[in-house]
């Protein structure tokens, strides 16, 4: 439950927005899975009330539980993506990276994973083989072992080829425990890399968008970047988040909401690759809401901003790292953007999926 | 991004904004026709740069917003049929019909697919000869040529399981409807650049002359819009009412002849209902009888599906520039992007959604104060 994709951090009311009316949806719509307000509402109204406990209420990427004197980080995530194999990765590597990253965002290295497969009748075994091999390679590269698993097969037409769940555990060092609750006025907001690649790569692979693009997914394990940040700042990392579903905008809104701080972003500083920008402009999408799978948001005290950025940039995943804004005391719960032309706008969470515009 | 960042230069934007402030001797009321322009103005905070020098009214140029309720109901009806695959541009899916929207139809098992081009819908029709594939043809003159082309292609390939639910509208009659209304406040227009890439701008010349309003064909990037505003203000200050072209890199006086020919071959002018505004004579495009076999309205006998709009949705006043989104009693309370009552809250180009999403109204928001004195911000 305590994964980034459930967007628990957005459960708190977002500052000054108007009260959202009680959902009139009598059925689940796709927008409930978008990582935006509808996802948060689904969780807040239909799931959270039944599972109330202190750990869940922290609204973090992973849960921290104490077992036998040790503090353990626990996180789970379920992956549904079409196509199963896409430019830059596949559902297997994505499932391994996703849970490693959720645990990394709590400051811990994932040690072990479990995996559950829901396989649709008719899936070519050669495809399954490739995906499992890719999972094994992704886990091996991060020195993570996959220690338990389960397979289920559903009738043709009852699944989308393959769904994968991964659950992971890691050991928390209490001396290093970044948390959305620790965002503080004056913190610099850093992004470890260019945004929008995963979501646009999937969209380009899935949809006939009418133009060719070379965008590849950024799927990657972020633990190496977390280690670099920790040592460069001597542990002074207040918040870590991987802005997956819902993009950077939703992740920052969640942090602002949980920590009751405000944020000011600088639009020209956002690292958006030219091909992602071009595809987004064509389709009328905002890259700030597009999913990433190999980028992290870090909030560090201003004094450590430069060393943190320098450290990120030493790693291949961090070459495009940028400082995109800072945390302020004003407008708690709101994320505000200084625009290209010098105006301002509020960067809110979206209700559901971004919908491509007509013209 | 190449060819875009040039049109977002902050120093040039500030300089154009200063020239507008210096040129305007009174707060002229301008309307930007197109929702794409509304989006840029609100998203980039251009209104703040002007500091109340002019008032912008957001026009009816969001095709999603003005699609009449009964066309949505017809779409919902078709999408719910088990023999139909209903295809549409993405932002039509959340537009509320009388009972539900297309997204909810999909959740109930209806085959609703987002496409990026009507030609994708044609391809789906070829792949599913056992199904009726319907495409929702929505939009202004900008999208009409591609949609007309899809019908021509369907006819050429003899695709009988493809049809189009047409809800096209055209801009000039709407501008005339606004100008001829007794409560009109608009003194100058930014005309929609992309519509003019197809149609050119000769149609606007008699409107400018008859109503004595300057009309400037304007692009969509921040510098385009600021330059278009400056050109309108300069004309107003000189007492002129000409049609000028700011968007010269895309628009020619006669537009795109080949595209217009295709539109004319497939569609003819017809009176059309605009959501929230009402009937505007000669403002819509409908399928010509020669292409009746591809007209979903006839094929599925949809004429019986009629609807009346909810009384507490003030979309019409917003679309006519008589009410700011946040003056609507439903705005932000009964009507939000999650649960829109009217289409302007749905589309990212809709004025209500733009105000809501970019926080142009919130008490306590930093934006609530930056535009002090500026009418479109002054209510926060």
Q: Which of B97, B139, B103 is nearest to B118 (CA)?
A: B139
CB contact under 8 A, A346 and B337: no
Closest CB to A346 among B64, B93, B367: B367
Q: Which residues of B touch A354 (CB under 8 A)?
A: 348
Same domain, B277 and B245: yes
State both tokens at A45: 């109204």
Q: Which of B158, B170, B137 is nearest to B272 (CA)?
A: B170
User: Is B369 a member of any domain?
Assistant: no
User: Is B373 a member of any domain?
Assistant: no
Q: Which residues of B touch A16 (CB under 8 A)?
A: 362-365
Q: Which residues of A touch B150 (CB under 8 A)?
A: none
Specify the pLDDT at position A77. Answer: 95
**Of chain B residues 306-335, which have a CB less than 8 A from chain A?**
332-334
pLDDT exceeds 70 at position A188: yes
Specify the pLDDT at position A207. Answer: 66
Give the range among A22-26, A176-180, B77-81 with minimum mean pLDDT.
A22-26
Same domain, B35 and B176: yes
Report yes or no: A109 and A149 within 8 Å, Cβ to Cβ. Answer: no
Among chain B residues, the shortest Cα distance to A342 is held by: B10
Same domain, B189 and B326: no
Specify the pLDDT at position A308. Answer: 98
State both tokens at A121: 């009748």
Same domain, B345 and B300: no
Specify the pLDDT at position B5. Answer: 73
Specify the pLDDT at position B2. Answer: 54
* Backbone phi, psi, residue B261, to 5°: -60, -40
Strand partners, B139: B168
Closest CB to B48 among A18, A343, A348: A343
pLDDT by 10s per residue, chain B, length 380: 455 678 888 899 999 999 999 999 999 999 998 988 988 998 898 988 898 899 988 888 888 888 888 999 999 999 999 999 999 998 889 888 888 899 999 999 999 999 988 999 999 999 999 999 999 999 999 999 999 999 999 999 999 999 999 999 999 999 999 899 888 999 999 999 999 999 999 999 999 999 999 999 999 999 999 999 999 999 999 999 999 999 999 999 999 999 999 999 999 999 998 887 788 999 999 999 999 999 999 999 999 999 887 777 787 788 777 788 888 888 888 888 777 777 788 776 788 888 888 876 555 555 554 432 222 322 22
The three-class DSSP label of residue A92 is helix
On the CB side of A245, how many CA atoms lie within 13 Å of its CA? 29
Report the side by side order of strands in the sheet with B188-192.
B55-61, B29-34, B188-192, B215-218, B243-245
Report yes or no: A196 and A354 within 8 Å, Cβ to Cβ. Answer: no
Report yes or no: A160 and A80 within 8 Å, Cβ to Cβ. Answer: yes
On the CB side of B10, how many CA atoms lie within 13 Å of its CA? 12
Number of domains in chain B: 2
User: Is B370 a member of any domain?
Assistant: no
Same domain, B129 and B144: yes
Q: How large is the angle between the packed helices A274-283 and A197-206, nearest 10 degrees?
A: 60
Among chain B residues, the shortest Cα distance to A334 is held by: B365
The whole-angstrom separation of Cα A327 and Cα A321 is 18
Same domain, B183 and B229: yes
The whole-angstrom separation of Cα A108 and Cα A212 is 39
Report yes or no: B102 and B92 within 8 Å, Cβ to Cβ. Answer: yes
B10 touches chain A (CB under 8 A): yes
Q: List, in order, residues 6 or more apart from B210 with CB less than 8 Å away.
A: none
CB contact under 8 A, B338 and A334: no
Specify the pLDDT at position B121. Answer: 95
User: Is B174 a member of any domain?
Assistant: yes
Q: Which of B327, B362, B359, B357 is nearest to B345 (CA)?
A: B357
SS3 for B146-196 is: HHHHHHHHHHHHCCCCEEEEEEEECHHHHHHHHHHCCCCCCCEEEEEHHHH
Closest CB to A27 among B90, B104, B333: B104
Boundaries of domain holding B121 = 1-312
- Tell me the pLDDT band of A228, cut-offs 50, 70 and 90: very high
**What digits encode the pLDDT tens for the residues B41-84?**
988 989 888 988 999 888 888 888 888 889 999 999 999 999 99
Structural domains for chain A: 62-177 (3.30.1330.10), 180-346 (3.90.650.10)
Same domain, B64 and B162: yes
Specify the pLDDT at position B366. Answer: 55
Same domain, B354 and B205: no
**Of chain A residues 210-239, which have a CB less than 8 A from chain B?**
210
User: Is B232 a member of any domain?
Assistant: yes
Specify the pLDDT at position B227. Answer: 97
Q: Which residues of A touch B143 (CB under 8 A)?
A: 358-359
The whole-angstrom separation of Cα B170 and Cα A341 is 31
Specify the pLDDT at position A315. Answer: 98
Specify the pLDDT at position B183. Answer: 86
Specify the pLDDT at position A6. Answer: 31
User: Is B375 a member of any domain?
Assistant: no
CB contact under 8 A, A16 and B140: no
pLDDT exceeds 80 at position A158: yes
CB contact under 8 A, A330 and B93: no
Specify the pLDDT at position A358. Answer: 58
- Tell me the pLDDT band of A311, cut-offs 50, 70 and 90: very high
Chain position carrying tokens 């399981």: B161
CB contact under 8 A, A283 and B358: no
Closest CB to A358 among B1, B46, B138: B138
The three-class DSSP label of residue A335 is strand
CB contact under 8 A, B107 and A27: yes
Specify the pLDDT at position B337. Answer: 78
The whole-angstrom separation of Cα B188 and Cα B240 is 10
Same domain, B278 and B321: no
Shortest Cα–Cα distance, A344 to chain B (Å): 5
Q: Which of B62, B16, B52 is nearest to B325 (CA)?
A: B62
For residue B352, give the H/E element and its range.
Answer: helix B351-357
How does the average pLDDT of chain A come out, rounded?
A: 88
Specify the pLDDT at position A208. Answer: 58
Specify the pLDDT at position B164. Answer: 98
For chains A and B, what is the number of CB pairs under 8 angstroms?
Answer: 165
**What digits encode the pLDDT tens for the residues A57-82?**
887 889 999 999 999 999 999 999 99
Q: What DSSP character marks residue A18?
A: P
B51 touches chain A (CB under 8 A): no
Shortest Cα–Cα distance, B43 to chain A (Å): 6
Alpha helices in chain A (DSSP H): 37-42, 48-51, 54-57, 91-104, 125-141, 197-206, 223-232, 247-259, 274-283, 305-313
pLDDT exceeds 70 at position A128: yes
User: Is B110 a member of any domain?
Assistant: yes
Same domain, B110 and B198: yes
A18 touches chain B (CB under 8 A): yes
Q: Which residues of A touch B14 (CB under 8 A)?
A: 341-342
Strand partners, B280: B272
Same domain, B263 and B319: no
CB contact under 8 A, B338 and A351: yes
The three-class DSSP label of residue A262 is strand
The whole-angstrom separation of Cα B87 and Cα B234 is 45
Domain of B111: which CATH number? Answer: 3.40.50.11740
Rounded to two decimals, the pTM is 0.84
Same domain, B48 and B159: yes
User: Is B371 a member of any domain?
Assistant: no
Chain position carrying tokens 């009746």: B292
Q: Which residues of A touch B38 (CB under 8 A)?
A: none
Angle at CA of residue B163, ends B159 and B169, nearest 5°: 135
């Amino acid at each position: 439950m305590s994964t980034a994709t459930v967007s628990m951090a957005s459960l708190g009311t977002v500052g000054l927005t108007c009260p959202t009316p009680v959902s009139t949806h009598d059925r689940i719509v796709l927008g409930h899975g978008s990582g935006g307000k509808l996802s948060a509402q689904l969780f807040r109204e239909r799931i959270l009330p039944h599972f109330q406990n202190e750990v869940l209420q922290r609204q973090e990427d992973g849960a921290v539980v104490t077992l036998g004197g040790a503090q353990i980080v626990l996180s789970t995530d379920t992956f549904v993506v079409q196509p199963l194999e896409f430019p830059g990765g596949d559902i297997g590597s994505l499932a391994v990276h996703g849970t490693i990253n959720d645990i990394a965002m709590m400051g811990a290295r994932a040690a072990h994973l479990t995996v559950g497969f829901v396989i649709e009748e008719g899936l070519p075994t050669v495809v399954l083989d490739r995906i499992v091999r890719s999972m094994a390679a992704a886990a091996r590269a991060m020195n993570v072992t996959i220690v338990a698993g389960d397979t289920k097969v559903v009738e043709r037409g009852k699944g989308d080829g393959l769904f994968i769940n991964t659950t992971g555990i890691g050991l928390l060092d209490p001396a290093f425990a970044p948390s959305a609750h620790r965002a503080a006025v004056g913190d610099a907001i850093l992004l470890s890399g260019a945004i929008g690649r995963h979501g646009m790569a999937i969209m380009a692979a899935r949809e006939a968008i009418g133009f060719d693009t070379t965008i590849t997914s950024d799927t990657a394990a972020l633990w190496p970047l977390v280690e670099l940040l920790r040592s460069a700042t001597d542990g002074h990392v207040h918040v870590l988040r991987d802005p997956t579903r819902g993009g950077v905008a939703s992740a920052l809104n969640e942090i602002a909401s949980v920590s009751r701080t405000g944020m000011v972003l600088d639009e020209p500083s956002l690292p958006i690759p030219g091909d992602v920008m071009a595809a987004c402009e064509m389709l009328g999408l905002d890259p700030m809401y597009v999913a990433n799978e190999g980028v992290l948001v870090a909030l560090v005290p201003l004094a450590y901003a430069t060393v943190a950025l320098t450290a990120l940039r030493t790693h291949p995943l961090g070459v495009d790292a940028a400082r995109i804004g800072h945390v302020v005391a004003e407008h708690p719960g709101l994320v505000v953007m200084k625009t290209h032309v010098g105006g301002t706008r509020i960067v809110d969470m979206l209700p559901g999926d971004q919908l491509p515009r007509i013209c | 991004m190449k060819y875009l960042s040039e049109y977002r230069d902050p120093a040039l934007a500030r300089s154009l904004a200063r020239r507008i402030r210096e040129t305007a001797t009174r707060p002229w009321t301008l309307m930007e026709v197109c929702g794409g322009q509304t989006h840029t103005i609100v998203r980039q905070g251009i209104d703040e740069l002007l500091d109340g020098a002019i008032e912008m009214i957001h026009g009816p140029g969001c095709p999603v917003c003005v699609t009449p309720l009964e066309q949505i109901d017809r779409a919902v009806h078709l999408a719910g049929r088990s023999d139909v695959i209903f295809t549409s541009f993405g932002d039509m899916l959340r537009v509320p019909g009388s009972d539900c929207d297309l997204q909810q139809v999909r959740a109930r098992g209806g085959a609703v697919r987002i496409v990026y081009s009507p030609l994708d819908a044609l391809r789906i029709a070829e792949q599913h000869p056992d199904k009726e594939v319907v495409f929702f043809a929505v939009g202004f003159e900008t999208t009409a040529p591609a949609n007309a082309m899809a019908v021509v292609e369907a006819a050429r390939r003899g695709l009988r399981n493809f049809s189009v639910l047409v809800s096209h509208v055209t801009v000039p009659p709407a501008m005339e409807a606004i100008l001829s209304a007794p409560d009109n406040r608009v003194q100058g227009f930014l005309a929609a650049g992309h519509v003019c890439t197809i149609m050119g701008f000769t149609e606007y010349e008699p409107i400018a002359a008859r109503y004595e309003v300057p009309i400037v064909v304007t692009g969509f990037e921040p510098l385009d819009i600021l330059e278009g505003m400056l050109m309108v203000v300069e004309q107003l200050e000189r007492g002129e009412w000409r049609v000028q072209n700011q968007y010269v890199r895309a628009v020619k006086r006669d537009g795109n002849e080949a595209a217009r020919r295709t539109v004319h071959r497939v569609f003819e002018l017809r009176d059309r209902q605009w959501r929230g505004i009402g009937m505007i004579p000669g403002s819509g495009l409908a399928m010509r009888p020669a292409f009746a076999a591809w007209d979903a309205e006839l094929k599925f006998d949809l004429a019986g599906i009629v609807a009346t709009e909810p009384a507490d949705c003030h979309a019409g006043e917003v679309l006519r520039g008589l009410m700011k989104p946040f003056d609507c009693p439903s705005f932000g309370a009964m009507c939000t992007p999650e649960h829109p009552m009217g289409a302007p809250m749905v589309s990212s180009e809709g004025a209500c959604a733009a105000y809501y999403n970019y926080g142009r109204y919130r008490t306590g928001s930093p934006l609530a104060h930056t535009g002090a004195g500026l009418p479109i911000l002054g209510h926060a």
